[in-house]
Amino acid sequence: MFKSFARWFILFSLIFSTSLALAQTAPQQIAAALNDLSGRVGRSINITDLDAWSFNQAVYPDTSLGCPQPGVAYAQVTTSGFQFLITYAGTQYDYRVSADQTIVVLCNAGVIVGTPAPACPPPNETGYLVPRLSIGAQGRVEDGGLPNLLRDLPGSSGGLLGQLEPGTEFIVVDGPRCSLLDKIVWWQVTANGLTGWTAEGRDGDYWIEPLGPSVGIEPVQSAVITLSNANTVTQLFTPPGINLLGPDENTLIVGEASGIISLFDFRTIATRAQVQAHTGAVSSLALGRNLQTRAIYVVSGGSDALGKVWALDTTANTFTVLAQLTGHSGPINAISINSTTELIVTGSADNTVRVWRLLDGAPLANLAGHTAAVVSVEFGTGGILSRDETGRTIIWGLATSGGAAG
C-alpha cells in the first residue's frame, strides 16, 4: 500500500538529464575525453580506435558533472555536459565533459570489459529480492503504481536519466547489480530511446516483472531429435538478430541489432555471457577453434564497418577482445575463419574482400573485383570463394606456373 511513497523516497533525485543513446555521430565534446585518454595511455587515440562508445547529454546541478571527487569544492551552478562511456583496448572509461569543454573528469580508472561483476545478491546476504530478470530478456514496469526511475549508475545516488511509466516494456541489457545499503537489485534496461539502470523492487515488493525468458526458466529442449520423434518437432524460441551455433551443442551465439553479442544456453535460452561489440548492428559472425590450444575464437562484423576478434571462454562465460579489423568502409556482411592457417576473410558492402591475421587482426590483403556488395565468403582447400549480391562469384588464390588468375 505504501509502494508509491517508498519508491519515490528511495529514488528521488535532483539531477536531470536527457536520454542516453548510441549515436553514429559523436558530439564534438568527445574530443576532450579522447585527448585526456590519449595522455593516460601514451598514444594518440581517435574515435575509430575505440571498441565501442556511447554518450548521454545531461544538465547537472553543479560543476562536478555528477562525479564529485574527494576534497574538491564545486560551484553550485547548473552545468550542461556530457557523459561518454568509452571502451578502448577492452577497458571502459566513464568520462564527463562540460558543454564548453572546460571541465573534463574521468569518473573511473578503467573497468576491464568482461570482468565478472560481483555476485548479486551477495552470498549469505538477506533482505534482497530474488532477481527474476536476465540479460536479453523482456520486462515491464508493473501496472498500478508510479513510474520506475532510470539512473546512469546502479544505485539510488546515480544521476537521473528519465522514467518508465507503468506498463512500459523494456529489454534488459546488463545486470543484476546490487546496492548494499538499501539492498536493491538493479538492471540496466532500454526502452523508448532511453538506456539506464532501474530498481527491481524492495522489501518484498517487485516494481518490474519479466515478460520474456528469465532466470530459472525450465529447459525448453530436453530430448535429442531422432527418426522416431522428428515428426513432433515444433518452434521453441526465436533468438534476436543473427545466430551461430557455439563450440558445443549446448551453446548459441547471437549478434543483435543493438550491437550486443550474447552467448545463450541452447537448452534453456538463458544468457551466459554478453558484450557490447559494435556501435551499430552485428551484421556477421564466424566461429573458429585452434585444435592444438583448444582456444575458441569468435569474429564479429558490424554495420559500423568494423570487425572484432574475440576469445570466447565457455567455462568463465566471457568474451575478451583480441583485435580489431579496421579498413572496410561499409558493413561487414560475411566472415570466414581458417583456424589451421590462422587467417580471416571478410566481405563487405564496400564491394571488397579482405584477408587478416587471426590472432592480432593484421591486414594481409585487400581484394577488389566485385562491383556490388559482397554477401558471402568462404575458405576452400584451393583458395577463397566470394559472392556478391548480384550472384557473381570470384575464386581468389595463388597463381601457379601452369596458368594465370583471371
Where is pLDDT greater, at 139 or 4?
A: 139
Topology classification of domain 239-391:
Methylamine Dehydrogenase; Chain H (2.130.10)
- Topology alike, domains 116-210 and 239-391: no
Sequence ranges of the domains in the chain: 16-112, 116-210, 239-391
So what's the pLDDT on residue 402?
A: 53
**Residues 390-405, mean pLDDT to the nearest whole number:** 76
So what's the pLDDT on residue 301?
A: 93
So what's the pLDDT on residue 13?
A: 35
Residue 175 pLDDT level (bands cut at 50, 70, 90): confident
Give the long-range contacts of residues 89-97, CB within 8 A, separation 24 or more.
89/41, 89/51, 89/321, 90/51, 90/114, 90/320, 90/321, 93/33, 93/37, 94/67, 95/33, 95/36, 95/37, 96/65, 96/66, 96/67, 97/29, 97/30, 97/32, 97/33, 97/65
So what's the pLDDT on residue 226?
A: 81
For residue 218, pLDDT beyond 60: no
For residue 392, pLDDT beyond 90: yes
Q: Which residues contact 178 (CB under 8 A, 6 or more apart)?
A: 118, 120, 121, 122, 128, 154, 184, 185, 186
**Residues 206-229, mean pLDDT to the nearest whole number:** 63
So what's the pLDDT on residue 285?
A: 93
For residue 102, pLDDT beyond 60: yes
For residue 296, pLDDT beyond 50: yes
- Give the least confident one: 31-45, 67-81, 158-172: 67-81
pLDDT averaged over the chain?
79
Percent pLDDT > 70 in the chain is 82
Express each pLDDT in 251-293 by its tens digit. Answer: 888 888 878 888 887 766 677 788 888 888 889 999 988 877 7
So what's the pLDDT on residue 349?
A: 92
Residue 10 pLDDT level (bands cut at 50, 70, 90): very low
Choose the CATH number for 116-210 among 2.30.30.40, 3.30.930.10, 3.50.50.60, 1.10.1740.10: 2.30.30.40
Where is pLDDT greater, at 232 or 406?
A: 232
- The C-alpha cell 526465436 sits at 238
